[in-house]
Amino acid sequence: MTQKETFDKILSQIREKLSSENNRDSSLQFISDILKDNVEHYDWVGFYLVEGENDLVLGPYAGEPTVHTRIKFGSGICGQAAETKRIFVVQDVSKELNYLSCSPTVKSEIVLPILKSGNVVGELDIDSHKIGPFTDDDKEFLVRVCSMVGKYFQ
């Protein structure tokens, strides 16, 4: 299967799951698992949820447990993405100064803010054990994934 076919298949499986699932955490867990299990360069996949004015709290995830269960806006790649409302693609985390390490095996990371009415309500965070694995196709695919979960946020 080509990567595009894999991405299309995952999108339709997520669409189907979300059409019949009203529980946010079940859906976010489903997405974390399906992404980690089906895309080779996704080694840790998880969601952070915004709490209060400037905290990110770890939600459902697939992969190794992380010590970073609560992150302030501005701190690390996740915090920077939340503060700026921008997608962060870091192809080599050893070159990023404002970075919170979960494990030495992680070499790169992509973080996408989930926006609702212009506000950041959560984030999708993916770590990879490869350097430089993320392409515009990943970004485009993951933007679509993020746009599908909006219904779970107020």
**Residue 124 engages ligand SME in binding (rule: CB under 6 A):** no
- Classify burial at 23, counting beta carbons within 10 Å of its beta carbon; exposed 0-12, middle 13-18, buried 19 or more: exposed
Give the nearer residue to ligand SME in terms of CB position, either 12 or 69: 69
Q: Which of 78, 82, 114, 124 binds ligand SME (CB under 6 A)?
A: 78
**Residue 11 engages ligand SME in binding (rule: CB under 6 A):** no
Supply the minimum distance, in Å, between the C-beta of residue 122 and ligand SME: 13
- CA distances from residue 92 to 7, 29, 75 in whole angstroms, order as listed: 23, 27, 18
**Residue 76 engages ligand SME in binding (rule: CB under 6 A):** yes
Report 85-104 residues binding ligand SME (CB under 6 A): 99-100, 102
Question: Do residues 72 and 79 make contact, with C-beta atoms less than 8 angstroms apart?
Answer: yes
Q: Are strands 119-128 and 70-72 parallel, antiparallel or unpaired?
A: unpaired
**Token duo for residue 12:** 């339709």
Binding footprint of ligand SME on the chain (CB under 6 A): 44, 66, 68, 71, 76-79, 99-100, 102, 109, 125, 127
